[in-house]
Structure 1
């Protein structure tokens, strides 16, 4: 891309504001329009210029379009200028104001999700079962983890506690985290009475886990990541708390077009591709060592298993679905 085209694309205040926002995280077009206070068609025109210049990449997901900075390595020196060039007082003010408005937009959505979880806590397991057979999902997750020790299990977004009920007996220590007190109340009811000191249930956010570095041997995200507005941040946080060669197990949807789940059920993302997951794992210092696919009509569930700092990367292969591996726990 000629330099004159790059600098022409950057030679507008709104487009510079968009670039600064995208340096913070991947965003939907509507989110950017809210933050910069302009109509979506007008913002879309600015985005088209940035995309044509190769500075921004866009990805369609259902009815939404998500934007991210270009991954072209040749643009790294240009993006580094945003940090190396000193901003004026006025620029610093609008950058701070934009990030504050972005945080407000995200907080509004988080509150809506919290209200949804509180309202539907009692029926949460039934809601999940509408999408795909949980028995198959649980069997695939159990098979993916195999016979290796679970160690300290961290269940992020535990919901009603099904994952700690399933994998807790094999763990030495269990920490379960959720933003909803109602969910934790239901999860606590499932704890075995003779091993309560083995389990810790904490209120916390998956973007900033209340867990120290390298504290967990096995981290699970079961049907949680699609609620994340920045999934890469959640994966990076999960990787942070993993021990050397600790494992991250994710069960979530493959890409789909069920826009109603975004509106009705507060899903922030309509599934994930293997390419997305592999990129996020790599950025977080994880090797993607296995994945499995469980078709289920309109919605397909994927199981991804990653490991931190493996000495040797194991080729990705689909794990066998063995219901017998559950040892009767899903009966």
Structure 2
């Protein structure tokens, strides 16, 4: 009986502690083992039981596997029961685990600090070539301000800056990046900013791990110049964009700074408006705004488009 398996999954102190810890944040098996003071094989066995019951999900990022609670609809009744029936001794154990969780947060923050220090010079050298980031962010804000953001997708989220800015205004927010290192960095930055509702996933811009027509707003911020096939990346973004949804591409105008290709792995030295308009059109997205931000050796452009073909269901939802 599925129900008996469900209660069996909860009928162990360690598994209850795991549920309580995942209530606070996503964790790897190694991090759980660190907090619980148990071996990874033992913790893995408990996680497998919780996963088989549908209470815990797994998400792979490179060589890491992160654990997260099942949907709120499924997990909320479990925590209602735990909160109501936990004895003082159990509450004290949950609180002790939560205190040890601070060590995990601190280790993640330290790893992020080291990563920033190692790459700061490169990032600053590129920033020095164009208008200040705050001006770019204000322009993005203006182009998103005319209607609700809805379900937000940030492709190539990097450090999670776009999620930090716009997730609080979105119904849901997802950041996707190929790099597990960048996702760990983004996770720390979002936690430090107090943003708990955004989801981070590892994925490729050419094969997004999302269903068709599932988001309302998409941002590709300084991502497309790394793309071998920019048109294919825009087409894939359009696939997951609902009819009437908005796509924002923020990148450089065409330039001749060849050192960015050689030193910083830029595959494209910026983009012409005509090329971007063609990729948008081929993907079923109408380019409706172009904003140029000059003020440095490189010009930043924001191209905004809207996907056509809103379905009857999407019209009713709007």
Fold conserved between structures, TM > 0.5: yes
- Change over 3 Å in CA distance of 1:204–1:215 after alignment to 2: same
TM-score relative to the length of structure 1: 0.55
Output aligned runs, 1:47-62, within 5 Å: none
Q: CA deviation at 1:199?
A: 1.6
Counterpart CA distance in 2 for 1:298 and 1:156 is 26
Q: Deviations over 1:175-204 (max 9, x none)?
A: 1011111111111112257652x2210111
Does the aligned pair in 2 maintain the 1:121–1:182 contact within 8 Å? no
Does the aligned pair in 1 maintain the 2:206–2:232 contact within 8 Å? yes
> Quick check: 1:130 aligned with 2:128?
yes
Counterpart CA distance in 2 for 1:163 and 1:306 is 18
What are the ranges of 5 or more consecutive residues in structure 2 without an aligned counterpart? 1-114, 311-318
Q: CA deviation at 1:298?
A: 1.8
Q: Report what 1:253 is aligned to.
A: 252
Counterpart CA distance in 1 for 2:294 and 2:207 is 32
Q: Deviations over 1:109-136 (max 9, x none)?
A: xxxxxxxx99965667545523321011
The secondary structure found in structure 2 opposite 1:175 is strand
- Change over 3 Å in CA distance of 1:119–1:226 after alignment to 2: farther
Does the aligned pair in 2 maintain the 1:121–1:183 contact within 8 Å? no
Counterpart CA distance in 1 for 2:256 and 2:267 is 13
Does the aligned pair in 2 maintain the 1:243–1:308 contact within 8 Å? yes
The secondary structure found in structure 1 opposite 2:266 is coil
Cα RMSD, aligned residues only: 2.2
Does the aligned pair in 2 maintain the 1:246–1:307 contact within 8 Å? yes
Moved over 6 A (4+): none
Output aligned runs, 1:38-49, within 5 Å: none
What are the ranges of 5 or more consecutive residues in structure 1 without an aligned counterpart? 1-116, 312-331
Does the aligned pair in 1 maintain the 2:164–2:195 contact within 8 Å? no
Does the aligned pair in 2 maintain the 1:293–1:301 contact within 8 Å? yes
Output aligned runs, 1:155-304, within 5 Å: 155-192=154-191, 196=196, 198-304=197-303
Does the aligned pair in 2 maintain the 1:155–1:219 contact within 8 Å? yes
Counterpart CA distance in 1 for 2:301 and 2:226 is 16
The secondary structure found in structure 1 opposite 2:212 is coil
Does the aligned pair in 1 maintain the 2:292–2:299 contact within 8 Å? yes
Q: Deviations over 1:66-86 (max 9, x none)?
A: xxxxxxxxxxxxxxxxxxxxx
Output aligned runs, 1:12-91, within 5 Å: none
